[in-house]
Structure 1
Amino acid sequence: MSLSYEASGVRYDQLDAFKRACQQAARTTAGLLRDHGYAEPASTRGESAYLIEAADHFLAHVEEGLGTKNLVADAVYAETGKCFYREIAIDTVATIVNDLITCGALPISVAMHAAVGDSGWFADAVRTNALVAGFAEGCRAAGAVWGGGETPTLGGVVEPSAIVLAGSAIGKIQPKSHRITGNVAEGDAILFFASSGVQTNGLSLCRKLAAQLPQGYSTPIGHGDPRTYGEALLAPSVIYVAFVRECQRRGLPLNYVAHVTGHGWRKLMRLEEPFVYEITDPRPAPALFQFMMEAGPIDRREAYATFNMGIGFAAFVAPDQAEEALALAQATGYDAWRAGTVRKQGNRKAVVVPAFGLEFGGETLQVR
């Protein structure tokens, strides 16, 4: 029987319904910004970052959580003595700032939220020092100050052996013309940026798979990759801030960008306006995902609807600027390529991957 994200306890229909209810209620508070000299710009609700508009700039705010990836790190630490909390900390920063940049904001300050079930969690110096060092490393990579945080002890809510990692960030768009608004058009090029692996989404399903493997996280993933399942899962996320920053410095407009996390490749059609996103050069799935699809088994449609499948970020640019954008991406250290084209087909909204026989209609992504 094929594994699914829903079977691991995650149902997007329930999560997204709650998010939509929150957005509706939140809109009723927008007028309060006037008392502070700000306003809510059009079309900010439902995007990955919330914007506040001033006369000559925008401020951006994001709140994000790591999810359950640290439970994988805990299991590998217990089994092998290898500590991956540096990587876990980088993941936490990455999932925050990669959302922030989708509107064109560059991160200024990042805060950590580290909730534990028992304060004794912090007594493990190896683990704690790795977490601290990794969070600072992630902030430096994002070009942001580590501004502080919160460390509540939540006995009865969090397991004594666990930590719940999350955080927030503020950023700024100045000049206001750097805002990424979704100015997508027929023929735009779709650029894909490689991920490091699973990054920070789908870990509940990854953990469910580990539980059915005789060797658990110590299982070799094969497919030409020498790592174990646990090691591959715990590769730190890529931080994509440098690409957006360089585009702004060079005056290269980004029509839209997407942080490919929850909802897998469906996230490519997050923009409200209907387009068809045709992926003609998808690349084969990396070894980790091939292993999971075989070992689960996890069918292809479920995999691409849940995981990033090797794609952590996508940018949509005018076709005559695609080569320049790719050169810039590669010059700033990213593995990027031209993966497809935006099509306008009336009110049709979909992601189509002909080489894999996949199509996700707009009804499969309801985040607004």
Structure 2
Amino acid sequence: MNQNASLSYRDAGVDIDAGDQLVENIKPYAKRTMRPEVLSGIGGFGGLVEISKKYKEPVLVSGTDGVGTKLKLAFELNRHDTVGIDLVAMSVNDILVQGAEPLFFLDYFACGKLDVAAATEVIKGIAKGCEDSGCALIGGETAEMPGMYPVGEYDLAGFAVGVVEKSKIITGDTIVPGDVVLGLASNGAHSNGYSLVRKIIERSAPDLDAAFDGKRSLADCIMAPTRLYVKPLLALMQAINVKGMAHITGGGITENVPRVLPANVVAEIDAASWQMPKLFRWLQEGGNVEAQEMYRTFNCGIGMVVVVAAADADAAVSQLQAAGETVSKIGVIRARNGEEHQTQVK
């Protein structure tokens, strides 16, 4: 190579034109997510959002997350259309449990070489997740970094900001013995436990394209996006006193539910109160995974836990079912004995 030859950024592996094309591709999808509070969205150096005057004492609630090693399966299966939904759901479901209405979301997409078609699919999924949760996609960052990632791979991160009236922040402090624990069904493994999922796939070597659960293939079940619980639960909070909520992510049921419980109580969960989906039974058998390890690794079919007073439980179930959720009464709150673990799955 001529040492005196003129070099461009493209010669170094970064294609500015491809980045510009991606921005143009995603603008119409981002536009559909806009909220009245958004003053400026994609294209500026920063997104501007005002806080609605309906809040007297607004408190901002923020959350950030990624998609984890589920992305490795997305690369292998060439499925890029739903991991963006996962990205949004992992953050908006988290801030939701404190009573927050998601306001806006920003994403970070990093790769070695930008594949505009694949990246467009990813960000269309992000926009879909935002639209379905009423959250504005106001910006993001696409980083093309040659040598940092293998060809065909990328990483995702994102964060959401929401707002809640100070007097309506959900802390779990009012949870008492006798309260009822409701479980909202998941879509599958969502975005957690995928290092173990991939290990089980490696051991079992299944045909991922074969029919598995009804018309869905095993790949369909494994890649099903994280369920968005925002709109049904925001509506529930308007109608019923929701005492506590837990998004069942990394750590499964046994490690996430205690995060919302006062120190003097235990959530006693009845594993027979819902049917564990076929995917989790397949994972348990394929990996010879012990039952308690399943409950502390996967959501096992319960993606969100809601705690309400016993007197409100039936009304809560009815409202959530009417909103399209599959809901079960999965347990009760009781007094804690000593230092026992705060969530018992039996």
- The TM-score with structure 1 as length reference comes to 0.74
- Residue 203 of structure 1 aligns with which residue? 194
Q: Indicate whether 1:66 and 2:56 are aligned.
A: no
Q: CA deviation at 1:216?
A: 5.3
Q: 1:93 aligns with which of 88, 94, 97?
A: 88
Contact 2:88/2:126 (<8 A) preserved: yes
Q: Indicate whether 1:314 and 2:309 are aligned.
A: no
- Residue 242 of structure 2 aligns with which residue? 254
Residue by residue, what CA displacement relative to the aligned partner does 1:275-325 show, whole Å, maximum 9, x if unpaired? 211113532310001111111222222111100000000000111011111
Q: 1:278 aligns with which of 265, 268, 280?
A: 268
SS at match of 1:197: coil
SS at match of 2:144: coil
Query: What is the aligned-residue identity percentage?
Result: 31
- Residue 105 of structure 1 aligns with which residue? 100
Q: CA deviation at 1:353?
A: 2.6
Q: Indicate whether 1:149 and 2:137 are aligned.
A: no
Q: Closer, same or farther in 2 for the Cα pair 1:65/1:129, shift >3 Å?
A: same
- Matched letter for residue 59 of structure 1: L
Q: Closer, same or farther in 2 for the Cα pair 1:263/1:139, shift >3 Å?
A: same
Aligned equivalents of 2:222, 2:205: Cα separation in 1? 17
Greater C-alpha radius of gyration: 2
- Number of residue pairs matched by the alignment: 287
Normalized per residue, which structure has more helix?
Answer: 1
Aligned equivalents of 2:211, 2:205: Cα separation in 1? 11
Q: 2:224 aligns with which of 235, 238, 256?
A: 235
Q: 2:343 aligns with which of 337, 351, 358?
A: 351
Q: CA deviation at 1:177?
A: 2.4
The 10-residue stretch of structure 1 (152-161 or 300-309) with the greater mean CA deviation from structure 2: 152-161
Aligned equivalents of 1:329, 1:239: Cα separation in 2? 13
Aligned equivalents of 1:298, 1:313: Cα separation in 2? 22
Contact 1:282/1:353 (<8 A) preserved: no
Residue by residue, what CA displacement relative to the aligned partner does 1:38-58 show, whole Å, maximum 9, x if unpaired? xxxxxxxxxxxxxxxx97121
- Matched letter for residue 104 of structure 1: G
Q: Over the residues paired in the alignment, what is the CA RMSD in angstroms?
A: 1.9
- Residue 29 of structure 1 aligns with which residue? none
- Matched letter for residue 255 of structure 1: K
| Aligned pairs for 1:1-368 within 5 A | 56-77=57-78, 84-119=79-114, 122-123=115-116, 125=117, 127-174=118-165, 176-182=166-172, 183-215=174-206, 217-218=208-209, 221=212, 225-250=214-239, 252-266=240-254, 267-271=256-260, 273-274=262-263, 275-280=265-270, 281-347=272-338, 348-354=340-346
Aligned equivalents of 1:113, 1:162: Cα separation in 2? 14
Q: CA deviation at 1:346?
A: 4.3
Q: Extract structure 1 runs of 4+ deviating beyond 6 A.
A: none
Contact 1:76/1:217 (<8 A) preserved: no
- Matched letter for residue 112 of structure 1: D
- Matched letter for residue 267 of structure 2: Y
Aligned equivalents of 1:326, 1:208: Cα separation in 2? 37
- The TM-score with structure 2 as length reference comes to 0.78
Aligned equivalents of 1:136, 1:293: Cα separation in 2? 34
Which blocks of at least 5 consecutive residues in structure 2 are unaligned? 1-54
Q: Closer, same or farther in 2 for the Cα pair 1:133/1:110, shift >3 Å?
A: same
- Matched letter for residue 324 of structure 1: A
SS at match of 1:242: helix
- Matched letter for residue 288 of structure 2: P
Q: CA deviation at 1:237?
A: 1.4
SS at match of 2:304: strand
Contact 1:178/1:248 (<8 A) preserved: no
SS at match of 1:59: strand
Aligned equivalents of 2:147, 2:292: Cα separation in 1? 38
Q: Closer, same or farther in 2 for the Cα pair 1:210/1:216, shift >3 Å?
A: farther
